Structures are given as C-alpha cells and as structure tokens.
Amino acid sequence: MNTNWGAFTTAEPALAKTVEERFATYTHHVLATLRKDGSPRTTGLEVRFLDGELWLGMMPDSLKALDLRRDPRFALQANPGSGTGMGGGDVRISGRAVEVEDEETRRRYTEEVEPPEPFHLFRTELTEVVRTYVEDETYLVLQIWRPGEPVRTLKRA
C-alpha cells in the first residue's frame, strides 16, 4: 500500500501535526539508508512537508542519494535536540523514497525551497510512523501507525 504524507495526515491528523511540529523544531535530522553491502548508513538531512508530501532533497551523487536509488528503504528520526526534554517526544518515520525526475514537480518544489543546484529529490511512501514519549513521568508511551491501520498505543511502566 503506497501512502504519502497527505494520506497519513488525513488518517491521523493529531499524530501528523505532532510529528510535523517535532521536525520543525530543528533543521537537521538523521536519515538511515542501506549501503551496497546491506549495512546501515546514517547521515544528516533536512526535510520538507509540502503539498501533502514528505520530501527529501540531497546533493548530487551524495552517498545517501545513491543508497536510495539502489534500495529505497529508509528510516528518518527527528533531531532529539539537546538535553533530555524532547518536547513532543521522539519521532521516527520509515518508508520508501521515490526519486522525482519530473521537471514540473521539481520546479514547484524549488518555488518553495531553494536547494543547491543540481540536486536529487525524493518523495516518500510511508510504511510506519512512531512517536515515543513519557507520560506523567511514569509511563513510556509508544504510538505506532502503519498504512491501513489505526494508531496503536502501548504504555510501559
């Protein structure tokens, strides 16, 4: 099932708002991709939520872009910031990145974002969104969303 950011926002607006707010708190986040040998690679990345899509823009021929061209699976974690506060909790998104080469779509993207030229542009298809936070200084709460399913909430003492 291919689910973009807009479909997630429609299905779970409250969680989507919290996730977007966490990503908006800081500019740089952590992207995990898979190397040729299957081992993980983590790198910094800026993300954009525009027109119902979660976009990943990258410098030309960056290793993370080459990783995604070879294997589109990714995991993205919002920057936790300094200290232990993590207002809004820890947020992670998993899915597949689809490279966008359509010139009209790329032009619309550059109207909103000023990427360095040239650049790779990927839109995302979500497979999971997870938020982890502490409630009442007692419980660790996990909210897990997958396409076609309601948010599942788990509490651990």
Residues 20-29: pLDDT tens digits? 999 999 999 9
Q: Is residue 104 part of a domain?
A: yes
53, pLDDT greater than 90 = yes
What pLDDT was estimated at residue 100?
A: 96
Q: Is residue 22 part of a domain?
A: yes
Percent residues over pLDDT 90 in the chain: 83
Q: For residue 87, what are the contacts with CB-CB under 8 A and spacing of at least 6?
A: 25
Q: Is residue 100 part of a domain?
A: yes
Q: Is residue 154 part of a domain?
A: no
Q: Is residue 137 part of a domain?
A: no
What pLDDT was estimated at residue 84?
A: 59
Q: Is residue 143 part of a domain?
A: no
Q: For residue 147, what are the contacts with CB-CB under 8 A and spacing of at least 6?
A: 1, 3, 7, 8, 126, 127
87, pLDDT greater than 70 = no
Judge whether 28 and 34 are in contact, CB under 8 Å.
no
Q: Is residue 83 part of a domain?
A: yes
Enclosing H/E stretch for 92: strand 90-99
Instruction: Give the total number of structural domains in the chain.
Output: 1
CATH of the domain at 65: 2.30.110.10
> What's the whole-number average pLDDT of the chain?
93
Residue 46 tokens read as 């800026």
Q: Is residue 125 part of a domain?
A: yes
Average pLDDT, stretch 74-87?
Answer: 80
What pLDDT was estimated at residue 81?
A: 79
Judge whether 54 and 47 are in contact, CB under 8 Å.
yes
Can you count the helices (H) and strands (E) in the chain? 4, 9
**d(C-alpha 106, C-alpha 127), whole Å:** 24
Q: Which domain holds residue 75?
A: 5-129
